[in-house]
Structure 1
Amino acid sequence: MKMFVEPDDIYLHTTAVDFRKSINGLLNIVESELELDAFSGALFIFCNKKQDKLKLLYWDKTGFALWYKRLEKHRFKWPKVHELDRLRLSEQQLQWLLGGYDVIGHSTLNYRASGL
């Protein structure tokens, strides 16, 4: 996903969100439930109950931006980590999530030149 900013951190809200909420409603979740600073430059990811829609919220230094993605036939592989309110993701895990892959159990790939 190409955005106009590169987020400092990426947080996934693990429980389903009422998708009638827009920027102000999601900001309330970030600050009250996740207890994070919405102005920090982080990207916040929310999913609906059916897990076929995502909303991504971030501060871009001039205002809040809200991105929306809907899948037509499938569901996002949403982590089933109900004991946590949030999950911190890497940029690669965000790409996996948006591409339909399960982000839990994956770790970022680091390639090194072999000593051969």
Structure 2
Amino acid sequence: MKHMLCAPEIYLYRESIDFRKSINGLAAIIESDTSLPLGSGALFLFTNKQRDKIKVLYWDKTGFALWYKRLEKAKYKWPYKEKNPVFTLTQFELGRLLSGFTIIGRKPIEMNDFTMT
């Protein structure tokens, strides 16, 4: 997980996907729907229709890796009404998303807006 948080770019794929897809299927989606470089070390985030699972695809210099997370009682706050097929996230927004916070609205998030209680 720590290696993923040091990724050069983080891309969120807006549309829900069939979660039976694995590395090859997810890579094919990126290749066919975007012009993003798959082998750059960037993270590519995907979710299922129910928004309770997330897959992260990335290249780690030796091959593709796939990270999977399932929420037990919540749903990811995923942008679905926007027209852009892919969004670029910051490291901070990735952390917020994986922690269950919303990233919808695409307003810049200031570090001092996030307080730990």
Q: TM-score range by the shorter chain?
A: 0.7 to 0.9
Counterpart AA for 1:85: P
TM-score (norm 2): 0.87
The gaps in structure 2 that reach 5 residues or longer are: 113-117
Give the whole-Å Cα distance in 1 for the aligned partners of 2:17 and 2:4: 25
Which deviates the most, 3-12 or 54-63?
3-12
User: Aligned Cα RMSD in Å?
Assistant: 1.6
Give the whole-Å Cα distance in 2 for the aligned partners of 1:84 and 1:36: 14
The gaps in structure 1 that reach 5 residues or longer are: 112-116
**Residue deviations 1:35-89, cap 9 Å, x none?**
2110011100000000000000100000111000000011011112441110000
Rg larger in structure: 1
Counterpart AA for 2:45: I
Identity of aligned residues (%): 50
TM-score (norm 1): 0.88
Larger relative helix fraction: 2
- The runs of at least 4 consecutive aligned structure 1 residues that moved more than 6 Å come to none
8 Å CA contact 1:90–1:108 kept in 2: the answer is no
